[in-house]
Structure 1
Amino acid sequence: MPSSYSYSVILEPQEGGGFTVLVPALPEVVTEGDSEQEALANAEEAIRAVLAYRRDQGRAPPSDAHPEIRHVTVAA
């Protein structure tokens, strides 16, 4: 039976519509979708692919990263 892994994702709305998804614990995962649901489904698929690749390379799945969002204001 396969193991389950849970990863934090960053869901970023795009100006022209749709969403980009980043997975801090798996920097190789950057995906997108036209809707939040599609973007998250694409992220799940990409996470599975990266974990399979890591397993095939003999690398353990990483622990989840816990991103913290901060705002920085700059004068330009």
Structure 2
Amino acid sequence: MSAIRLTSAIIRQGEWFVARCLEVEVTSQGKTLEDALNNLQEALELYFEDHDAPTGTTPIIAPVEVNVQ
């Protein structure tokens, strides 16, 4: 077993924190930021039981401005 470092994006939705991994499509949530990250870690570990770990896929984080009506 080896460890890999992944990137998560966390937003607040009502009373929940939603954590999403940017390298693979895995998302989880929790009542606290720490819970959301712990739940995401567990979800990712389960995900990687059936999928290969990403290699060389560091996401580029950039803001995007859009017009809304």
TM-score where L is the length of structure 1 = 0.77
Q: Which has the larger radius of gyration?
A: 1
Does 1:65 pair with 2:63?
no
TM superposition outliers: structure 1 runs of 4+ over 2 Å: 63-67
Cα deviations by residue, 1:26-69 (Å, 9 ceiling, x for unpaired): 11x11110000100000000110111111xxxxx3103432414
Structure 1 or 2: larger strand share? 2
RMSD: 1.5
> In 2, distance between residues paired with 1:42 and 1:69?
25
Structure 2 unaligned spans of 5+: none
The one-letter code matched in structure 1 to 2:61 is E
Higher relative contact order (CA 8 A, sep 6+): 1
Structure 1 or 2: larger helix share? 1
Residues 67 and 20 (structure 1), Cα distance of their counterparts in 2 relative to 1, 3 Å cut: farther
> In 2, distance between residues paired with 1:35 and 1:67?
26
Q: Which of residues 32, 44, 47 is equivalent to 1:35?
A: 32
